[in-house]
Amino acid sequence: MNFIEKELDLAKQIYGQYAISVEQAIQKCDEISVSIHCWQCDDGTGLEGSGLPMSGGIIATGNHPGKAKTFDQITADLEKAFSYIPGKKKVNVHAIYLDNKGHFIDRNEIEPQHFNKWIDWANKLDIGMDFNPTFYSHKMSESGFTLSNADEEIRRFWIEHGKRSRKIAAYMAQRTGKPVVNNIWIPDGDKEVPIDTAGPRKRLKDSLDQILSERYEGVIDAVESKLFGIGSESYVVGSHEFYMGYALSRKDVLITLDTGHFHPTETVSSKLSAVLQFAEGLLLHVSRPVRWDSDHVVNFDDETRAIMSELVRLDAFARTHVALDYFDGSVNRIMALAIGARNTRKAILEAFLQPVDFLKELEGRGDRSSRMAYTQEFKTLPFGLVWDAYCQQCGVPAGTEWITDAQNYEKAVLLKR
């Protein structure tokens, strides 16, 4: 018996005192797929080749060496990151990561075949895919308005992009044999509060209706709100209230809850039970805001842990699609992917190692004192022992073993780019 096996045996004994099965917790955690975003590899630059800087109220900061510049570099970096991340995975791709073979193809002209390389790669790894139309960093989005633009030519351009993106998502689903979440986020908004706040929202509603008018097998559509962005500090067309109303009034459209897209004092964990009373499911974007939607690398912090605990308590993972969404160019980008994904997976596993039925029983008896006491004491149970064993079972490094390997990859590969 090796050291980690001894740790696991000890953890089983400790958790077993509270009728918690470590094996079942690991199994349930492992069944949940986490969608890992390709845009962390290159700070959201994409492969479109337009030469335009990132815009749309978002920004990636930092200039750490080794940024991926080609499809082969991005996928190589993703594979290296995947080797550190336990559990089922999907790859999340934006439209600007198309394979245009060196010839510029505009957003309203993209076709399913432009993503064959991604699909072939995903199939080689036997992982699923998710997709996102890209409504930012384009000459037709410079005004700050896309699907809600008053200029019909601009609006038609973006509607066509949205329609084509859904066809691409359907093609991905057909070729991979796995459902594809197609998430719509737009940067539309204003630095000041406009006089006409309803007009853009009316146009956005019409644009979405046109984009989503056709049903596609295997495509799960979602719409994502945001509180504000750079240049849209005072007014965002696709607000939480707008998209909540839209998703709940449209069949087969999910609401996306991004952990960085709300007021600093709001938490996504507190919204889950309310939203899921009415929504059939949701898309969860796991990120980390620091005073604003700054898309920091996900930590094993209180809110991430609270979100996953709430999903377990609600028995809602079957209705929730989990995806990462952050981009940090100030650190080793592969390590950023691994850190965020491992922390997300840690929070999921820890959530399954709680005595939910026992705590609910205490709550049902009105014993709030014991409920609080047990909840706090459980925070110090040896979760790390179970995590190490889970990593070993998945064939990825436990503990800090992966860090040296990532540093060696940086020296051997990233610094030579």
CA 88 to mean position of chain CA atoms: 14
**Model pLDDT for residues 202-255, shown as the tens digit of each residue:** 999 999 999 999 999 999 999 999 998 888 899 999 999 999 999 999 989 999
Give me 136's structure tokens.
Answer: 């930012």
Work out the pLDDT band at 92, boundaries 50, 70, 90: very high
Sign of CA dihedral 252, 34, 179, 72: positive
- Taking phi over 0 as left and psi of -120 to 50 as alpha, with beta for the rest, 203 belongs to alpha
Give me 389's structure tokens.
Answer: 């064993």
Q: Which residues are catalytic?
A: 185, 224, 226, 258, 261, 285, 293, 295, 325
Round to whole Å and give the CA distance between 309 and 316. Answer: 10
* Amino acid at site 107: R
- The reported pTM is 0.95
Nearest one of 147, 162, 286 to 219, comparing CA atoms: 162
CB 266 within 8 A of CB 241: no
Round to whole Å and give the CA distance between 297 and 305. Answer: 15
The stretch 260-287 carries a mean pLDDT of: 96
Higher pLDDT, 233 or 157: 157
Using CB atoms within 10 A of its CB, is residue 185 exposed (0-12), middle (13-18) or buried (19+)?
buried
Residue 295 backbone phi and psi in degrees, to 5: 50, 50
Structural domains of the chain in order of their starting residue, each with its CATH number: 32-354 (3.20.20.150)
- Find the angle CA(345)-CA(349)-CA(351) to the nearest 5 degrees: 115
pLDDT for position 398: 93
DSSP-based three-state secondary structure for 320? strand
**Model pLDDT for residues 353-383, shown as the tens digit of each residue:** 999 999 999 999 999 999 999 999 999 999 9
The stretch 375-395 carries a mean pLDDT of: 94
Give me 98's structure tokens.
Answer: 């198309």
pLDDT for position 37: 98
**285 beta partners:** 258, 323
pLDDT for position 62: 84
Higher pLDDT, 51 or 272: 272
Residue 44 pLDDT > 80: yes
Give me 378's structure tokens.
Answer: 């459980």
Nearest one of 326, 324, 321, 302 to 375, comparing CA atoms: 302
